[in-house]
Amino acid sequence: QVQLVESGGGSVQAGGSLRLSCTITVSGDGYNYYMGWFRQVPGNEREGIAAIRIGDGEASYVDSVKGRFTISRDEYKKIIYLQMNSLKLEDTAMYYCAADTRGAAWDNLFSEGRYNYWGQGTQVTVSS
């Protein structure tokens, strides 16, 4: 069993930065092979934006955030971070972290279906 709690959201002006955190609590034999960050705007589908392989820290990003966002992990603290720089108005969304404990391959990283645990989300609002 895995529980995920996001934090760090808030309001920021365009061009600013925020760092989101996802605290992971694992009970039983659960192990997170991959973690992802997703975001969702009301009326739209959830969009995967960043993913990281826990074992070696290999990361991947969608083009819209590449070069601006950085996903990282602290294995000891069991926290996943999403550092967001140069924020744009279109980054406004509810942000979710997700965990994949099934050890799937390094593909479909931004597909909701590969992740079997989700947090409740944290709101990010970027204003002009």
- Mind listing the pLDDT tens digit for each residue in 14-53? 999 999 999 999 887 667 789 999 999 999 999 999 999 9
Q: In 3-state terms, what secondary structure has residue 25?
A: strand
- Mind listing the pLDDT tens digit for each residue in 73-123? 998 888 999 999 999 999 999 999 999 988 778 888 999 999 999 999 999
Residue 32's nearest CA partner among 24, 42, 23 is 24
